[in-house]
Amino acid sequence: MTLNDNGLTALTLLIAESDPKAKDLMVRLVIHLLARADPQPATLSE
């Protein structure tokens, strides 16, 4: 899955503007969706 600048901005704003009580849930939701979309584990380039 490729996330362009607009998509990253939208997700950032979604989390930033979410109800503080639901912020943790929103973060976990986004992480879950991104992890499901990319079955390959992330690696760090050296």
CB 7 within 8 A of CB 15: no
Q: What is the pLDDT of residue 34?
A: 82
Q: What is the pLDDT of residue 46?
A: 46
Q: Decide if pLDDT at 45 tops 60.
A: no
Give me 10's structure tokens: 């939208």
User: What's the whole-number average pLDDT of the chain?
Assistant: 81
Predicted confidence (pLDDT) per residue in 16-37, tens digit = 999 999 999 998 988 888 887 7
